[in-house]
């Protein structure tokens, strides 16, 4: 590895995407949103008329994934959310996506956000953050995002969907969501985006400093 690898894990809508993107820009590193990989695999399965919970079809879609699939504009929203969560619980899908994620960081290092970056993909990452926020805070943020886009999903529904996805991500046998033992926890419940970024940057810079 020729550059630092920064692993940012945590549940949905904890703010890790925004943080990871800003960290990458500030540190001059490439950025990969690994959730997009699972979303794009789910979409490929749906395109082929398959069931995202079918291991053979989902694994074939994962092996066929191309970087251009990550540019699709239909990777967000409830259908893509559900398809991504389903394919993400299939070990053969996770195995097929492992090399893609490791290769991404080979040339210059990278900032990657996801669920298992610090535990499975890069256990030796230079810095590991586990970004969390309360369920209510995360659902409130997701609700505000949807409302800004003109969506009319009730807050109670957003909260319940998020609770269900949290449970799926944490309970699955393949790479369940959990902090790496050496991850630093960052709770963004009471932090605005700038305060969360300042805290994250300070933690990462501490790890990047030569011992
Ligand atoms: O972060 P996200 O909401 O875009 O993730 C989409 C789904 O993929 C979600 O169910 C969690 C799963 N995922 C995963 O299992 N491992 C990752 N590294 C990233 C996402």
Residue whose Cα lies nearest atom 14 of ligand 1: it is: 115
Residue whose Cα lies nearest atom 11 of ligand 1: it is: 85
CB 11 within 8 A of CB 116: no
What was the pLDDT predicted at 39? 97
Distances (CA, A) of 161 to 46, 85, 135: 20, 12, 11
Q: What is the residue whose two structure tokens read 């074939």?
A: 60
CATH superfamily of 1-30+111-205: P-loop containing nucleotide triphosphate hydrolases (3.40.50.300)
Cβ neighbours for 121, distance < 8 A, ≥ 6 positions apart:
7, 34, 98, 101, 102, 112, 114
According to DSSP, residue 53 is labeled: T
pLDDT exceeds 70 at position 27: yes
Q: What is the residue whose two structure tokens read 């990452």?
A: 125
Residue whose Cα lies nearest atom 20 of ligand 1: it is: 35
Q: Residue ranges per domain, the chain?
A: 1-30+111-205, 35-104
Instruction: State the Cα–Cα distance between residues 173 and 176, nearest whole angstrom.
Output: 6
Length of the chain, in residues: 211
The finding on whether 169 has its CB within 6 A of some atom of ligand 1 is yes
* Average pLDDT of every residue of the chain: 93
pLDDT exceeds 70 at position 1: no
The string of pLDDT tens digits covering residues 125-180 is: 999 999 999 999 999 999 998 888 887 789 999 999 999 988 888 888 888 889 99
The finding on whether 114 has its CB within 6 A of some atom of ligand 1 is yes
Q: Which two tokens stand for residue 37?
A: 């990989």
């Amino acid at each position: 590895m020729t550059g630092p690898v920064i692993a940012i894990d945590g549940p949905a809508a904890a703010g890790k995407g925004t943080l990871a993107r800003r960290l990458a820009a500030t540190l001059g590193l490439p950025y990969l949103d690994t959730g997009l990989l699972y979303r794009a695999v789910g979409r490929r399965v749906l395109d082929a008329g398959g069931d995202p919970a079918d291991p053979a079809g989902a694994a074939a879609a994962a092996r066929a994934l191309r970087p251009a699939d990550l540019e699709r504009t239909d990777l967000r929203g409830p259908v893509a959310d559900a398809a991504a969560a389903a394919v993400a619980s299939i070990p053969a899908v996770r195995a097929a996506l492992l090399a893609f994620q490791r290769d991404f960081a080979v040339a210059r290092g990278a900032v990657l956000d996801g669920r298992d970056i610090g535990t499975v993909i890069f256990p030796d990452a230079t810095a590991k953050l586990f970004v969390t926020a309360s369920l209510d805070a995360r659902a409130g943020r997701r609700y505000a995002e949807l409302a800004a886009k003109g969506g009319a999903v009730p807050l109670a529904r957003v909260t319940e969907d998020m609770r269900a996805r949290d449970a799926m991500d944490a309970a699955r046998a393949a790479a369940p969501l959990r902090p790496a033992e050496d991850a630093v926890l960052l709770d963004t419940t009471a932090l605005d985006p700038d305060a969360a970024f300042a805290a994250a940057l300070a933690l990462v810079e501490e790890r990047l400093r030569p011992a």
